[in-house]
Homo-oligomer: A and B are copies of this chain.
Amino acid sequence: MGITKVDGFTPEVTQMAEILKALGHPARLAIMEYLINSPDCINGDLVDHLPLAQSTVSRHLSELKKVGLIKGTITGNCISYCINDDVWDKIKVFFNTSSDQITPGKSCAC
């Protein structure tokens, strides 16, 4: 098949899975790190930092944008992409609150 079942899962789980799936690729994760660490939002030389063709990088950028991880556009002299803090924080919250709920000492003895 290749099609991912969505029925039966909560919208929260489905949405978070989409975000994490977008991050689950070396190129896209590297793009996020690059955007985080770069002093400004310009991504003009992003292609030079990745071992991928320009068209492929553009495709990955559009996927990151699709799930809301990055925002911005290339319109004329305003060339910029940057992190969407809202979504990034959402991920942080997800993992932090989840971890708190792990019962201490629950590690299985197998």
A residues engaging B (CB < 8 A)? 4-10, 13-14, 16-30, 32-33, 36-37, 39-41, 50-52, 71-73, 75, 78, 80-83, 85, 88-89, 91-92, 95-96, 98-99, 101-103, 106-110
* Copies of the chain in the assembly: 2
> In this complex, what residue of B is CB-closest to A11?
B26
- Give chain B residues whose Cβ lies under 8 Å from the Cβ of A6: 26
- Give chain B residues whose Cβ lies under 8 Å from the Cβ of A36: 98-99, 101-102
Shortest distance from the beta carbon of A44 to any chain B beta carbon, whole Å: 13
Enumerate the 8 nearest inter-chain pairs by beta-carbon distance, A residue then B residue, closest first.
A21-B24, A8-B51, A80-B108, A20-B24, A9-B26, A41-B108, A82-B108, A24-B24
A and B contact pairs by CB, cutoff 8 A, 8 listed: A5-B27, A9-B30, A9-B51, A10-B30, A20-B29, A21-B25, A23-B24, A71-B110
